[in-house]
Amino acid sequence: MVLTWVAYKGIIWSDRQYFHSIAKNEFVFLEDTTSYDILLLGSSRMKNMVNPRVVDSVTRLSSFNAGASGANAVEMKTILESYLLRHKAPKYLILTLDLYSLESEKSLQYYPSYITCDASKPIEKALKHEGVHTYLYKYMPFLKVVELNDYYKGIVVKSLKGETDIAEGDYYYKGYVSNTDVVIEKDELKQLRFFGVSDNGIAAVGDIVKICREKNIGLVFTYAPEYKKFIIKGTETPERIFTVYDSIAVANNIPYLRHENLELSSDPKLFANNGHLNRMGADVYSEELSKQLLSLGLID
């Protein structure tokens, strides 16, 4: 037990130093009580593509990017519920929904990044869904080390060397992580896997809508830019998913902004890969999104 405790303290310390997602989760869910006007929520196509610094400068409001890599609608709901336990409800929620957002096989895509934050009941519920023994860990937290795979356990050396998972030249700001200056050098259209639509995923989006209605939060759905619509073209029957989003938006009078056809979506200099804008592209899109939200009267 002593050896396990020592290993746990060293590994958890290292992971907190190395993984920005762990530091971000602990800050947002355990420490921060700041009131933000705009909450930005989604997967990495939010986390790495909408820069609060640009959003704030255009809108004159205060925003925070709560996006999480690989997050589906269930994880987005968990993040929102946990956020609201520590923060005043934002005026607006900008929710980016991807073609895979309605899948619900995992409640938390990278659940080790939430291990240290299980004081939140929504997160604890999601961790239980992943098979994490949350009750046991309340009394013997050092046993959490068994939940970490070899990658998380092997971060100690990198942390001691002062390395982090944010690439050289990139930065973290209010939940946003910039996404390199890499550009697309050649078009690559490939068939993607079949993205599922689950009842749990649809219900999670519905729960987000309900929370926003109860908290008087102005909700906007978006579909983020992608290079030449390569994700849509590579997905089997994508419209079956967009139809679900459309129906939820119409039924609840929610603005739904689809950005796959923006002019910037055909510029390879703005993309790191088919699904993600690079650092320069994120700033361009953040400005365009902010101006659109203002011009349409969706925020004020």
Give me the sign of the Cα torsion angle 245, 43, 109, 210.
Answer: negative
- What CATH number should be reported for the domain whose range is 2-295? 3.40.50.1110
Tell me phi and psi for residue 173, to 5 degrees.
-150, 115
Of 23-27, 128-132, 262-266, the least confident: 128-132
For 4-31, what is the mean pLDDT? 92
CA neighbor of 39 nearest in space, from 60, 78, 58, 66: 66
Q: Read off the pLDDT band of 119 (50, 70, 90).
A: confident
If residue 93 lies in a helix (H) or strand (E), which one and from where to where? Answer: strand 92-96
* Least confident segment among 99-103, 147-151, 167-171: 147-151
Choose between 136 and 234: higher pLDDT.
234
Q: How far is residue 166's CA from residue 175's CA, in Å, rounded to a whole number?
A: 12
pLDDT at 115: 85
Report how far residue 127's alpha carbon sits from residue 134's, in angstroms, rounded to the nearest whole number.
7
- Alpha-carbon gap, residue 250 to 17, rounded angstroms: 44
On average, the pLDDT of the chain sits at 94
Question: What mean pLDDT do residues 266-278 have?
Answer: 97
Cβ-based burial of 252 (10 A; exposed 0-12, middle 13-18, buried ≥19): middle
Closest alpha carbon to 103 in 69, 72, 79, 80: 72
- pLDDT bucket at 89, cuts 50 / 70 / 90: very high
What CA–CA distance (Å, rounded) separates 290 from 272? Answer: 22
Average pLDDT over residues 51-57: 98
82 vs 27: CA distance, rounded Å: 12
Tokens of 205: 């989006």
- What is the CA angle 109-177-281, rounded to 5? 110
Average pLDDT, integer, range 40-52:
98
Mean pLDDT calculated for residue range 254-283: 97
> Per-residue pLDDT tens for 187-226?
988 889 899 999 999 999 999 999 999 999 999 999 999 9
Interval 254-275 mean pLDDT:
97
Q: What is the pLDDT of residue 176?
A: 98
Proportion of the chain above pLDDT 90, given as a percent: 78
Residues 275-286: what's their mean pLDDT?
98
What residue type is assigned to position 113 of the chain?
Answer: S
* Residue 136 pLDDT: 87
Q: Half-sphere exposure (CA, 13 Å, Cβ side) for 104?
A: 17
pLDDT band (50, 70, 90) for residue 117: confident
